Amino acid sequence: MTTGQRAAAPVRGAVSLLRAAAAHPAYGWGTAFVALLGLPLLVSNGYQQYLLDLIMINIVLAVGLNIVKGFAGQVNVGHLAIAAIGAYTSAVLSTKFGMTFWFALPLATLSAGIVGAVVGVPSFRLEGAYLALATLGLAESVRIFIAVTDYLGASIGYGDIPPPIIAGWRLDSYAAYYYVVMPIAVAGTYIAFSILHSDIGRAFKAIREDTLAAAAAGIAVRKYKLLAFLISALYAGCAGSLAAHMAPGFIHPDDFNLTRMITVILMVVAGGLGHVWGGVIGAALITLIAEWTRSYYQYEFIIFGLIVVLTMMYMPRGIGGYIDRRLATRRFVAQRRGKTAANMT
């Protein structure tokens, strides 16, 4: 045995250990997380940092909507109304009851989740456009209720919502707040990812495609519909609370109107219904487009309409679906090629 070979053994061991680590799903997530930690340092001004925060919040919102709409196939136009419930719960808890952000956030998330599960009940009987109408009714009544309730600031808006505080340090700059919203967005995406790759995610997809066939496979359709609504509402509530506590700590019923809801739907549609990454990409993209076109806001919907038409024409499953399709085809071809190669030898 030469020295070279002897030295190679530990090296090989180390390499295979690294390979194993790289194959572990936590590795990719860890890398992404670390990369995202540095992101605010790359952008120069406060406005861009604000955009980063907004993207992260919208990711939470879009990933949540994708669970109920993209995976379980249940239309929920009330998603943003549930976010409003999260936002106002959080605002009231932290201003009127003196709760810190760290308590208000989970409580707001939870209460939004409960409301969301209740919103899911009509989905037992209604489908498609009818469910959309039912949830639309809820969405508008929540917004109007807020707009006429003085306790919630009515149509003036609700201000002075405190930022999160860690050991006396107020996270009221956009750069600091990023370190609150980014980990939540990453965790939310990760959780969505794991749910959708488990038996629960498959049950959702089965319900989206064919409820009768799903039931015949032993899936308790109503239970899973409710679960989808609940999970997505938790995301919405969390996003709402995060939006409320972001500087300048001001929310307005119009932040949650139908126009905004269409923007959120667009994130999921352009990104890819039923595709977690797609939703994330869509959230980032549409947030930026919405911001860049803000000065031409009267044309906003022409631009959004164009995006919808172009996506439907060229990527009917959105960006994520397009990528997925490519990967699936490649996997299939590889599998077939492996088969033929095996047959030839």
Partner 1 sequence: MTALLEISGLTKRFGGLTALSNLSMKVEEGEIRGVIGPNGSGKSTLFNLVTGVYPADPGSLVRFRGENITNREPHEIAQRGLARTFQLLRIFVEMTVIENLLVGCHRQISYGIGGALFGAANVRAAERRVRAEMLELLDFVGLADFAEMPAGELSIGQRRLLALGRAMAMKPTLLMLDEPAAGLSPVNVDKLLETVLALKARYGLTVVLVEHVMKLVMASCDVITVLDHGEKIAEGSPDAIRDDHGVIEAYLGKEMQDAEVRAFLRSA
Residue closer to partner 1, measured from CB, 22 or 148: 22
Cβ(52)–Cβ(174) below 8 Å: yes
Contact 273, 95 (CB under 8 A): no
Measured from the CB atom, the residue of 245 and 275 that comes closer to partner 1 is 275
Q: Is residue 331 at the binding interface for partner 1, with CB under 8 A as the rule?
A: yes
Least spacing, CB of residue 175 vs partner 1, in Å? 29
Closer to partner 1 at the Cβ: 302 or 334? Answer: 334
With vertex at residue 234, the alpha carbon angle to CA 241 and CA 219, rounded to the nearest 5 degrees, is 170
Q: Contact between 217 and partner 1 (CB under 8 A)?
A: yes
Query: In whole angstroms, how far apart are CA 173 and each of 99, 104, 151, 285?
Result: 20, 19, 28, 23
Q: Is 322 in the site for partner 1 (CB under 8 A)?
A: no
Radius of gyration of the chain (CA): 23
**Region from 97-105, 208-216, 241-249, 285-293 binding partner 1, contact rule CB under 8 A:** 208-216
SS (H, E, C) 148-217: HCHHHCHHHCECCCCCCEECCEECCCHHHHHHHHHHHHHHHHHHHHHHHCCHHHHHHHHHHHCHHHHHHC
Residues 270-309 that bind partner 1 (CB under 8 A): 274
Q: How many residues does the chain have?
A: 345
- Farthest CA pair distance, the chain: 85
Find the binder of partner 1 among 9, 144, 220, 310 (CB under 8 A): 220
Q: What angle, rounded to 10 degrees, do the helices at 46-65 and 79-96 form?
A: 120
Q: Could you say whether residue 202 binds partner 1 (CB under 8 A)?
A: yes
Residues 15-44 that bind partner 1 (CB under 8 A): 25
Specify the stretch interacting with partner 1 by CB under 8 A; choose among 2-10, 147-155, 197-205, 304-312.
197-205
CB closer to partner 1, 7 vs 26 = 26
Q: Which amino acid is at 103?
A: F
Q: Name the β-bridge partners of 165.
A: 170
Q: Which of 70, 153, 163, 201 binds partner 1 (CB under 8 A)?
A: 201
The residue (of 31 and 149) whose beta carbon lies closer to partner 1 is 31
Size of the site for partner 1 (CB under 8 A): 35
Only segment of 101-109, 121-129, 232-240, 334-342 that touches partner 1 (CB under 8 A): 334-342
**Of the two residues 215 and 303, which places its CB atom closer to partner 1 in the complex?**
215
Q: For residues 161-190, which are near partner 1 according to CB under 8 A? A: 190
CA-CA distances (angstroms) from residue 248 to 61, 158, 170, 206, 244? 20, 11, 12, 43, 9
| Shortest distance in whole angstroms from residue 52 CB to partner 1 | 26
Burial per residue of 202-211, b for 16 or more beta-carbon CB atoms within 10 angstroms, e otherwise: bbbbbbbeeb
Within 42-101, the residues that bind partner 1 by CB under 8 A are none
- The interaxial angle of helices 25-37 and 3-23, nearest 10 deg, is 80
The two structure tokens encoding residue 262: 């269409």
335 sits near partner 1 (criterion: CB under 8 A): yes
Q: According to the binding rule CB under 8 A, does residue 205 interact with partner 1?
A: yes
Decide: is 206 part of the binding site for partner 1 (CB under 8 A): yes
Q: Which residues bind partner 1 (CB under 8 A)?
A: 25, 190-191, 193-195, 197-203, 205-206, 208-210, 212-221, 274, 328, 331-332, 335-336, 339
